[in-house]
Amino acid sequence: MKGYVLPCATLLSFCLSIATTQAAELSIELGDRGKTWSTAELLALPQTRDISIAEDVSYKRSMHYKAVPLAVLLNSVTPDEHIQAIATDGFAAELPAAPLLNTQGARAWLAIEEPTKPWPALGSKGYSAGPFYLVWENPEAGNIGSEQWPYQVAKLRLLPPVAERFPNLLPATNANEDVQLGFAQYQKNCMACHRLNKAGDSQFGPDLNLPHNPTEYFRPGFLSRYIRDPQSMRHWPQGKMPGFSEASISNAELNQLLAYLSHMASRKIQ
Please indicate, yes or no, if residue 122 is contained in any of the structural domains: yes
User: Do residues 213 and 259 share a domain?
Assistant: yes
pLDDT of 209 above 80: yes
The residue out of 131, 159, 187 marking a domain boundary is 159
Residue 5 pLDDT greater than 60, yes or no: no
Average pLDDT, the chain: 88
pLDDT in tens, 146-201: 889 999 999 999 999 999 999 999 999 999 999 999 999 999 999 988 999 999 98
Q: Enumerate helices (H) and strands (E) in the chain, giving the number of each.
A: 10, 9
Whether residue 211 is found in the same domain as residue 119: no
Q: Based on the domain organization, do 109 and 235 belong to the same domain?
A: no
Q: Is the pLDDT at 7 greater than 50, yes or no?
A: no
Of the residues 125, 159, 193, the one at which a domain ends? 159
CB atoms within 10 A of CB 77: 22
Listed in sequence order, the residues at least 6 apart from 34 whose beta carbon sits closer than 8 Å to its beta carbon are: 27, 28
Return the pLDDT at 17.
45
CATH of residue 256's domain is 2.60.40.420
Which residue type sits at 11? L
**Band of residue 255 on the pLDDT scale cut at 50, 70, 90:** very high
The answer to whether position 16 is within a domain reads no
In terms of pTM, does the model score above 0.75?
yes
235: pLDDT strictly greater than 70: no
The CA–CA distances, whole Å, from 251 to 15, 51, 174, 218, 224 equal 46, 32, 24, 18, 9
Average pLDDT value for residue range 124-135: 93
Percent of the chain with pLDDT over 70: 89
Assess whether pLDDT exceeds 60 at residue 145.
yes
- CATH number at 120 reads 3.90.420.10
pLDDT computed for residue 90 by the predictor: 86
Q: Are residues 69 and 145 in the same domain?
A: yes
For residue 185, tell me if it sits in a domain: yes
Query: Is residue 226 in some structural domain?
Result: yes
Q: Judge whether 126 lies within some domain.
A: yes
Indicate whether 34 and 138 sit together in one domain. Answer: yes
237 Cβ partners below 8 Å, 6+ apart?
none
In a domain? residue 59: yes
Verify that 219 and 235 share a domain, yes or no. yes
Structural domain for 132, as ranges: 23-159
Same structural domain, 168 and 155: no
Q: Residues 228-248: what's their mean pLDDT?
A: 75
Are both 45 and 130 inside the same structural domain? yes
pLDDT for 257 equals 96
Where residue 116 falls (left for φ over 0; alpha for ψ -120 to 50; beta otherwise) is alpha
Q: Which of 159, 187, 209 is the last residue of a domain?
A: 159
Judge if 229 and 121 occupy the same domain. no
pLDDT (tens digit, 9 = 90+) per residue, 48-62? 999 999 999 999 999
Q: Is residue 8 part of a domain?
A: no
Residue 227 and residue 129 share a domain: no
Are the CB atoms for 170 and 158 separated by under 8 Å? no
Cα distance between residue 64 and residue 144, in whole Å = 19
Residues 132 and 171 both lie in one domain: no
Distance between CA atoms of residues 151 and 133, nearest Å: 4
- Asked, for residue 113, whether it belongs to a domain, the answer is yes
Our count of domains for the chain comes to 2
Based on the domain organization, do 128 and 184 belong to the same domain? no
How far apart CA 68 and CA 48 sit, in angstroms, is: 4
- The whole-number pLDDT of residue 244 equals 84
